[in-house]
A and B are shown apart, each in its own frame.
Chain A
Amino acid sequence: MNLEILVADLHIHSVLSPCARRDMLPHCIVLEALERGIDAIALTDHNACDNVAVTLELGGRFGLWVIPGIEIETREEIHLLSYFPTLELLASFNRVVEEHLLPIPLERDIWGEEWVIDEEGNVREKKTNLLAVPLSLSLEEVVQEVEHCGGVVIPAHVDRKSYSIISQLGFIPSGLSLKALEASSFKEIEKMDSSLTRYALLSFSDAHALEEIGRRTTSFFVASRSFDEFLLALSGEKERKVLSF
């Protein structure tokens, strides 16, 4: 089996996230990732995915693998990275997200702005509701909805003291079909709970500014750039695997 090793940073915020710096435009993100030798990225904005389509198109043009993604905040204030095989499946999941998002008007002075970017790199739309809020769906409900749309959930930054599945719920509930966890540091993880090492452990940048892209990456050993291969690597099946640095 001929496997290639792809360096991936699958946790990046664009200007759609109010907390991201205004240089996080899809065009800049794609070029920055290529410059840093990254093979695969995902935009994971808070509870929204409006900038994924343009990023996918750019990725196709410049030879960067872009996996459709989103970062969800559950009712328990847990952040979950979610990835989908196609833009269409992400869009159908996003309809569920929109239905369960509290309509809180965006106070730009407090939170910042939420920009949707067009193909030419211009601001097409400024969102008027705050996206960085919890959905009314529980952890289990979000996992179910993501899987229903063919996606996979990876709890984000599980070693942090806020917005992590472990900070919010004490430990990972039994009966959740998780394959992988994201953490900023694995030393901390082993100290926290040695049973966590049974999951594939991934590390991504959680970049909110251009120079942060690729500060943490995970290498995927896969046969091709497909979502099925991505899933195989997460489960460690058929010699596919992940390695984090």
Chain B
Amino acid sequence: MSIKIRDLVEPLEASVVVPGDMERVVNGGYCGDLLSDCIANASEGSVWVTVQSHPNVVAVAVLVGIPCVVVVNNAEVGEQTVARAEGEGVTILRTHLSAFEAVSRLAALGIPGKRRRESRDSRC
């Protein structure tokens, strides 16, 4: 069963801030608010759940190949971010749900957590 971006809107109780390509299939998910961490660990084709809404979110999505960003906690998505996402064709969904709740809903749809690198021992 393939899950498309449009299938995420209702379960996430989200508003579509930037539609992008709602027919794109998502093959996994990643959650995190450090953009450097997302660059390092998220994988192509995933939906990305984050509270960040800085314009760099879109740039990171393009870099990693993420078709859809879910902004949680109703965090405000500014004009610059919207303009950039429209230019790049990246979908932005915005939900009042917390990151935890949003990820649970996505998992319930059958979307697996995915990361590019295997986890390894690391200290921070």
Contact = CB atoms under 8 A, between A and B. Distances in A.
A185 interface: no
The secondary structure that dominates the B interface is: helix
A173 B78 contact: no
Contact of B34 (A140, A167, A171): A167
Contacts of A76: 52, 54
A173 B36 CA distance: 13
Contacts of A169: 35-36, 54, 56
A166 B124 CA distance: 15
A138 interface: yes
Interface in A105-154: 138-140
Interface in B23-72: 33-39, 52, 54-56, 59-60, 63
Interface residues of B, number: 17
Nearest to B64: A170
A173 B54 contact: yes
A100 to B, nearest CB: 14
A171 B56 contact: yes
A173 B55 contact: yes
Nearest to A170: B35
B46 to A, nearest CB: 16
A173 B124 contact: no
Given A138-B78, A140-B80, 18 more contacts: A76-B52, A161-B124, A162-B124, A166-B36, A167-B34, A168-B33, A168-B34, A168-B35, A168-B36, A168-B52, A169-B56, A170-B35, A170-B36, A170-B38, A170-B39, A171-B35, A173-B55, A173-B56
Return the 3 tightest CB-CB contacts between A and B, nearest first: A170-B35, A169-B56, A167-B36
6 contacts: A140-B80, A162-B124, A168-B35, A169-B36, A173-B55, A173-B56
